[in-house]
Amino acid sequence: MEKFYVQGPTCLNGEIFISGAKNSALPILFATLLTTKPIELQNVPSLSDIDTAIQILRKLGATIKRSSSIYIDTSTVNNYKALFSTVTTMRASIWALGPLLIRFGCGEILLPGGCAIGKRPIDLHIKGLRKLGAEINLEKNSIKAQIDNQLKGAYISMESISVGATITIMITATLVSGITIIKNAAKEPEIVDTANFLNTIGAKIKGAGSNVITIEGVTNLSGGVYRILPDRIETGTFLIAAAVSGGHVTCFNTLPNLLNVILSKLYEAGADIKIGVDWISLKMQGRPKALNIDTAPYPGFPTDMQSQFSLLNVVAEGKSIVKETIFENRFMYIPELIRMGANITIRSNYAIFQGVNSLQGTKVKATDLRSAVSLVLAGCVAKGTTIIDDIYHIDRGYENIENKLTSIGAVIKRIDSK
Ligand code: EPZ
210 and 345 part of one domain: no
pLDDT of residue 416: 87
User: Could you tell me the mean pLDDT of each successive run of 10 residues in the chain, 418 residues long?
Assistant: 96 98 98 98 97 97 97 97 93 96 97 74 96 95 94 98 98 98 98 98 98 98 98 98 98 98 98 98 97 98 98 97 96 97 97 98 95 97 97 93 98 89
159 lines ligand 1 (CB under 6 A): no
Amino acid at 54: I
The count of residues in the chain is 418
51 and 184 part of one domain: yes
pLDDT of residue 35: 98
174 lines ligand 1 (CB under 6 A): no
Task: Quote the domain boundaries for residue 377.
Answer: 2-19+230-416
Strands (E) across 63-160 are located at 63-66, 70-73, 81-82, 106-110, 135-138, 142-146, 155-157
The DSSP secondary structure of 234-290, one letter per residue, reads HHHHHHHHHHHHT-EEEEES--GGG-HHHHHHHHHTT-EEEE-SSEEEEE--SSPBP
64 and 119 part of one domain: yes
The DSSP secondary structure of 327-391, one letter per residue, reads -TT--TTHHHHHHTT--EEEETTEEEEE--S--B--EEE--SHHHHHHHHHHHHHSBEEEEEE-T
Which among 183, 211, 227 is the end of a domain? 227
| Annotated binding residues | 22-23, 91, 120-124, 304, 326
Q: Whose CA is nearest to atom 8 of ligand 1?
A: 304
247 and 391 part of one domain: yes
DSSP letter at 149 equals S
246 and 190 part of one domain: no
Count CB neighbours of 54 within 10 A. 18
* Exposure string for 110-139, b = 16+ CB within 10 A, e = fewer: bbbbbbebeebebebbbebbebbbbebeee
Helix (H, G, I), strand (E, B) or coil at 48: helix
209 and 240 part of one domain: no
99: preceding bond cis by omega (within 30 degrees): no
| Annotated binding residues for UDP-N-acetyl-alpha-D-glucosamine | 91, 120-124, 304, 326
94 lines ligand 1 (CB under 6 A): no
203 and 246 part of one domain: no
Cα separation, 153 vs 128, in Å, equals: 11
Which among 207, 227, 247 is the end of a domain? 227
CA atoms within 13 A on the CB side of 232: 23
pLDDT of residue 113: 65
Domain count, the chain: 2
pLDDT of residue 1: 84
Q: How far is CA 322 from CA 150, 313, 351, 354, in A?
A: 47, 9, 5, 12
The answer to whether the CB of 210 falls within 8 A of the CB of 187 is yes
Q: Whose CA is nearest to atom 29 of ligand 1?
A: 23
163 and 299 part of one domain: no
166 and 29 part of one domain: yes
Which among 171, 196, 227 is the end of a domain? 227
The set of catalytic residues is: 115
Residue 230: is it exposed, middle or buried by C-beta count within 10 angstroms (0-12/13-18/19+)? buried
Cα separation, 241 vs 319, in Å, equals: 20
The DSSP secondary structure of 157-168, one letter per residue, reads E-SS--HHHHHH
Indicate which CATH number applies to the domain containing 298.
3.65.10.10
pLDDT of residue 119: 76
263 and 192 part of one domain: no
7 and 51 part of one domain: no
- Rounded to the nearest 5 degrees, what angle is found at the Cα of 361, between the Cα atoms of 355 and 367? 85
8 lines ligand 1 (CB under 6 A): no
165 and 65 part of one domain: yes
170 lines ligand 1 (CB under 6 A): no
Cα separation, 29 vs 227, in Å, equals: 12
Tell how far the Cα of 229 is from the centroid of ligand 1, in angstroms.
19
Q: Whose CA is nearest to atom 28 of ligand 1?
A: 304
Atom of ligand 1 nearest to the CA of 91: 15
